[in-house]
Amino acid sequence: MKQKLYDTVDAAVGDVPSGARIFFGGFGGAGFPNNLIQALDRQGASELTAITNNCGSGDGELGILFKHGRIRSVIASFPGPHARHFQELYAAGKISLELVPQGILCERIRAAGAGIYGFYAAVGAGTPVADGREERVVGGRRTVFYEPLAAEFAFIKAWKADELGNLIYRKTARNFNPLMAVAAKTTIVEVEEVVPVGSLDPEAIVTPFVFIHRIVRAKGIHNVVKS
Amino acid sequence: MKQKLYDTVDAAVGDVPSGARIFFGGFGGAGFPNNLIQALDRQGASELTAITNNCGSGDGELGILFKHGRIRSVIASFPGPHARHFQELYAAGKISLELVPQGILCERIRAAGAGIYGFYAAVGAGTPVADGREERVVGGRRTVFYEPLAAEFAFIKAWKADELGNLIYRKTARNFNPLMAVAAKTTIVEVEEVVPVGSLDPEAIVTPFVFIHRIVRAKGIHNVVKS
Amino acid sequence: MSSNPKLTREQVAARAALELHNGDCVNLGWGIPNLVSDYVPTGITVYFHSENGILGMGPRARAGEEDYDVVDAMKVPVTVIPGASFFDQGTAHLMSRGGHLDVSMLGGLQVAENGDFANWKIPGAKGSGGIGGAMDIATGARRLIVCMEHVTKEGAPKLVRRCTYPLTALACVHRVVTDLAVVDVTPEGFVLREVAPGWTPQQVQQQTDARLIVRGDVPEIRLAGR
Amino acid sequence: MSSNPKLTREQVAARAALELHNGDCVNLGWGIPNLVSDYVPTGITVYFHSENGILGMGPRARAGEEDYDVVDAMKVPVTVIPGASFFDQGTAHLMSRGGHLDVSMLGGLQVAENGDFANWKIPGAKGSGGIGGAMDIATGARRLIVCMEHVTKEGAPKLVRRCTYPLTALACVHRVVTDLAVVDVTPEGFVLREVAPGWTPQQVQQQTDARLIVRGDVPEIRLAGR
């Protein structure tokens, strides 16, 4: 068995370099790897690219990384009006943003992990999302080409891991986490509980351990957010 | 609640017309909708297109449909040397075959259900699979274009359904079944057991009911096959 | 313009709820659609879909009973009903984009007579804007019902000949329910199906940029409560 | 040609098993690779992947204990070990094609010195043939080891300058373990790493179509049992 357990969140994110491209799981306050995010903030890496659904609420979730100027570039579906620090940087022209439709964001991430070199979807045709993208008419329908979206790191949150890295999630805290897990060079998971190998039901495992590189236990932080 | 329960497998497949395009789940003897297949054979529809991993073993699984000349065309990954009836028809030139790499078969089916209008993969590049297909070099790698694969019907096998159609599978009997469920106009599932709504764990449901149109209870048939 | 009041947001939601049938799987977007779940006709069960991975979403959680791992697309703690399932966000959008939901309802900024739809960006608005799930949901909708005010706060018509705002999706809208009317998108253009109580087709047309096709008598909107 | 025997299929499998490291996720294909699981070095745990949806596959089921819902890619009832998971066939190939497995081992018909690989179709063979999971596995392999006889039954070399059989995948093979040698595919071509006991590099070269690069002394294959 490969040793994947880290003692602290700080150790788990210690080698993330400035300039790294990172997936952050989570949606609507559920399933955010908040302890990893805060450790990354302490660690100080900067010039990061964040691939995420949204950009935090106040100082919560990714907010702290924007507040401290760690992130240079964002690929997101819905940064959000409550992402105050992001919005200030964006208004000041200090941050670049690529908006991606939410389901397409999921598929582009999955494609990167699945050995798919791009795909066509009708989503985005005729909209600003298609600007600069190849289009193709399929069966009379306008479609747009999307390339895969990979990252060096995925920061994800799960409920329980076994010591190998098999994961289960809790309810809607699943969201982007299993998708991002498959598409990063190094996937780091923050979990509420680490259980012995063999104690998770093989049929109920959502993320098989092959996708997981580092595991760290940390008490989950829920920021109660408003949309 | 929409009424999806059928009393008999014969009723569940009663309206499948000749010429229909059908997905058949199952791999290696596990997870084949054998009762539905046998009902379809009794029903007599012919000129069918079968989309499947393999083409039966002797009279088992799809074997009976080939034996009785129901199938005109096959899209498969590995028809199999033990698919005697298929091989005889194939040798006689009475059946057409498109061979598809197994993982690509999965992705083409998923794409059809996911609103994806085709994708590129490195799989098949430089091989006969690429004949007649568009190629594109991505980051120095040769890739091949694959279009989605939809069907009018999916015949699948699950372990338990609730009355809405939420499904769980048993071990490797899962295989192609959840993928095919999402990509057919009419998905018909054969299950060992029908349980009340609310009795399946919401986190353990593999196929949410939105993909399921007809449910029929039938004692599973395992043909013990050799590869 | 009629001297009769326009419908309230709740009344628009109540009218939209009549579009739901027993057993339907339904996505409700932000704005007026989010109110529709309060008006599901009695005697039917509808399964609400949430883009973050729920099919079978129930009412909002009661105060003190919130589970912050069960939230809706507006990030509010909700409940689930028997038969519900949880899945990842990619599967949630496989459902929406792949055409598996029976009905989707979204709030709107503009709907064009060819069914084009804009709901995510007002030109010149400050901030980054955001797309969220709207493009996947609109593009894949088997039946898309837009619920919105008939005109903007400034009085500009929102049912238009051609959208001038950035689009959400092309030719995707089937029906529009507003505070003045129910309008269908057809190959011929907008067809006026119902008008608000006390409003005439002519008065509704005056609030509309595109031509409304009127066929025979146009009934008044029936309002259904619980 | 040497008067010494070639390795048996079991010995080839035993040599191939030395390629495995503790914790590796490994796919074994049909043919000799299927024997490799019997020779995993003691003291390490390897997680076998099966294309039909298992990670953590154990030995074949004992007679009388078969569960026909737990089969391997050869359709034989197997067991699972602690830490195993079940998933659908698409996820299984996401793992293989997406480069998530540490090692894949496949049987082979031809390997070319540029790493091209043929293993699914003999020209002129009767029957439909079939691809199965081989193309996804070979294309996505992080480390692909081909285990096969060095020459065909008719004596034709299987390590060739260019493949003449229909390909499985381009430039995908990293190492070949045969009954005569261990050979690496490098940018310069085939490099001979080990020879069967009693065989010389020259004798192995005589059984090989492509040129074998020899660097210094070439050791004999060590054979490991359990």
**Structural domain includes residue B223:** no
pLDDT-above-70 percentage for chain A:
98
Whole-Å CA distances, B119 to A114, A169, B111, B136, B149? 11, 29, 8, 11, 12
**Best to test chain D binding among B95, B102, B104 (most D CBs inside 10 Å):** B102
Find the domain containing B51 and state its range: 5-102+149-217
Confidence of residue B189 (pLDDT cuts 50, 70, 90): very high
CATH superfamily of C9-213: Glutaconate Coenzyme A-transferase (3.40.1080.10)
Which subunits count as partners of chain A given 3+ CB pairs below 8 Å? Answer: B, C, D
B168 CB neighbours in chain D (<8 A) are none
Mean pLDDT of chain C: 96
Note which residues in 83-112 of chain B have CB less than 8 A from chain D: 86-87, 90-91, 97, 99-104, 106-107, 109-110
**Structural domain includes residue A116:** no
Q: CATH no. for residue A88?
A: 3.40.1080.10
Contact A120 B116 (CB under 8 A): yes
In the predicted structure, residue B192 carries a pLDDT above the cut 60: yes
Q: How many domains does chain A have?
A: 1
pLDDT-above-70 percentage for chain C:
99
Contact C53 A121 (CB under 8 A): no
ipTM of the complex: 0.97
pLDDT-above-90 percentage for chain A:
95
Confidence of residue B119 (pLDDT cuts 50, 70, 90): very high
**Could you report the per-residue pLDDT of B77-106, keeping only the tens digit for each?**
999 999 999 999 999 999 999 999 999 999
Cα of B30 to nearest chain A Cα, Å: 15
Q: Average pLDDT of B149-155?
A: 98
Note which residues in 144-183 of chain A have CB less than 8 A from chain D: 162, 164, 166, 182
A197 CB neighbours in chain D (<8 A) are 82-83
Note which residues in 114-143 of chain B have CB less than 8 A from chain D: 121-129, 142
In the predicted structure, residue A3 carries a pLDDT above the cut 80: yes
Confidence of residue B223 (pLDDT cuts 50, 70, 90): low
**Could you report the per-residue pLDDT of C45-86, keeping only the tens digit for each?**
999 999 999 999 999 999 999 999 999 998 899 999 999 999
Mean pLDDT of chain D: 96
**Structural domain includes residue B188:** yes
Q: Give the one of A86, A103, A172 whose C-beta lies nearest to C93's C-beta.
A: A103
**Could you report the per-residue pLDDT of A163-190, keeping only the tens digit for each?**
999 999 999 999 999 999 999 999 999 9
Q: Exactly one of D51, D113, D149, D194 is catalytic; name it.
A: D51
Look at residues C80, C7, C10 and name the one whose alpha carbon lies nearest to residue C38. Answer: C10
Distance, in Å, from the CA atom of C99 to the CA atom of C103, rounded to the nearest integer, reads: 9
In the predicted structure, residue A227 carries a pLDDT above the cut 50: no
**Structural domain includes residue B111:** no
Q: Average pLDDT of C181-200?
A: 98
CA D141 to chain centre: 11
Confidence of residue C225 (pLDDT cuts 50, 70, 90): very low
- Looking at the DSSP assignment, which residues form a beta bridge with residue D169? D117
β A184-195/A214-217 pair status: parallel
Contact D100 A182 (CB under 8 A): yes
**Structural domain includes residue A115:** no
Contact B208 C97 (CB under 8 A): no
**Could you report the per-residue pLDDT of D167-190, keeping only the tens digit for each?**
999 999 999 999 999 999 999 999
Confidence of residue D225 (pLDDT cuts 50, 70, 90): very low
B164 CB neighbours in chain C (<8 A) are 83
Q: What is the pLDDT of residue C22?
A: 97
Please say if C51 is a catalytic residue. Answer: yes
Q: What is the pLDDT of residue D226?
A: 38
Q: What is the DSSP letter of B24?
A: E
Domains of chain D, residue spans:
9-213
> Rounded to the nearest 10 degrees, what angle do helices A102-114 and C89-97 cross at?
120
pLDDT-above-90 percentage for chain D:
95
D140 vs A227, residue with greater confidence = D140
Burial D44-77 (b: 16+ CB within 10 A, else e): ebbbbbbbbbbbbbbebbeeeebbbbbbbbbbbb
Contact D22 A209 (CB under 8 A): no
In the predicted structure, residue A72 carries a pLDDT above the cut 50: yes
Q: What is the pLDDT of residue C226?
A: 38
**Interchain contact D/C (3 or more Cβ pairs less than 8 Å):** no
In the predicted structure, residue C223 carries a pLDDT above the cut 80: no
Confidence of residue A224 (pLDDT cuts 50, 70, 90): low
Structural tokens at position D214: 């020899």
**Best to test chain D binding among B34, B116, B172 (most D CBs inside 10 Å):** B172
